[in-house]
Amino acid sequence: MDVNFYSPGEVAVNYCELGQKKARLAIPKQFLLAVMAGVFVGLAAQGCSQVIHSISTVSFARMVGAALFTTSLMLVSVAGGELFTGNCLMIIACAEKRISAGSMLRNWLVVYLGNLIGASIVVFLITRSGQLDFSDGMLGGYTIKNAVYKTSLGFEKAFYMGIMCNILVCVALWTAAAAKDVAGKLLGIFFPVWLFASSGFEHSVANMYFIPAGIVAKSNPDWVANAVNLGVSHEQIAALGVKSFLLGNLLPVSLGNIVGGAVFIGLGYWLAYLTNKGEMKK
């Protein structure tokens, strides 16, 4: 009987082929698709901030915003895009010796930079459009507060939160890959991404929007005043900058994302389904 989904073992085999396709894609196309993915994630991140900035109950705000944020991975998966966190699953093709470690790392670097450019485009568009003036500038204040929070996590906490994030992001892509129709893919993405975002775990590409947006927003005195009203100190705002973004958050979160996606999910399922060490091999 024909079933409307692939088994986990079949998904593992399919990811080998997908990893090859990603590695062989011309670098300009890798970069372009990565920029598009960065734009999708940036827009979803902004939409998340837009709907939750005035909700005082943190748990409810996260639940609502996280549901909206699932749009990002849906667009990347169905419309098309190259996302650094998802491409951590290329480790499966590398472990199977279908692609070289060099081609995988090159893809990661190109896609990472493209995602950063795409998210930065959204930062520019949002700040220039006056969107952060929403709610008398309270959205601008919230944007600063969120950036301060993320850059104040500390290396260890950000690293572990990055691991848990990309475990769920890559599981979302894995379950989406098991579906043979678009509706199944969207459903497979929704719940794992909703779980990661509701939990407040750290996603490197989303933070490529959240933190630079906060850095830009702190140049507006009205938004700064609103951030102070939200409990952020002037000292914390002064410390928010490129250095705190890159070293205080993006580096540990990116490393955590690699561990969560490539090691826990990628190599974990490779061992389970594509080697004799697992109980079954497809």
Q: Which CATH number fits domain 8-273: 1.10.238.10, 1.20.1080.10, 3.30.70.1140, 2.40.420.20?
A: 1.20.1080.10
Residue 277: per-residue pLDDT: 46
Residue 2: per-residue pLDDT: 60
Helices first, then strands: H and E counts in the chain: 15, 0
71-112 pLDDT per residue, tens: 999 999 999 999 999 999 999 999 999 999 999 999 999 999
Q: Does the pLDDT value for residue 281 go beyond 60? A: no
Share of the chain above pLDDT 90, in %: 93
> With bands split at pLDDT 50, 70 and 90, how would you rate the model's confidence at 58?
confident
Contact 83, 2 (CB under 8 A): no
**E runs forming strands in 77-166:** none
Rounded mean pLDDT, 157-185: 97
- Residue 148 to residue 258: CA distance in whole angstroms: 24
Q: Does the pLDDT value for residue 279 go beyond 70? A: no
What's the whole-model pTM score?
0.94
* Residues pairing with 5 in the sheet: 179
- Residue 237 to residue 247: CA distance in whole angstroms: 16
Range in 94-98, 101-105, 156-160, 273-277 the model is least confident about: 273-277
Q: Does the pLDDT value for residue 260 go beyond 80? A: yes
Share of the chain above pLDDT 70, in %: 97
Q: What rounded mean pLDDT belongs to the chain? A: 95
- In a 3-state reduction of DSSP, which class is residue 178? helix
- Of the candidates 240, 75, 248, the one whose C-alpha atom is nearest the C-alpha of residue 173 is 75
Structure tokens at 275: 């080697």
Q: Does the pLDDT value for residue 6 go beyond 70? A: yes
202-247 pLDDT per residue, tens: 999 999 999 999 999 999 999 999 999 999 999 999 999 999 999 9
- Residue 142 to residue 53: CA distance in whole angstroms: 6
Residue 282: per-residue pLDDT: 43
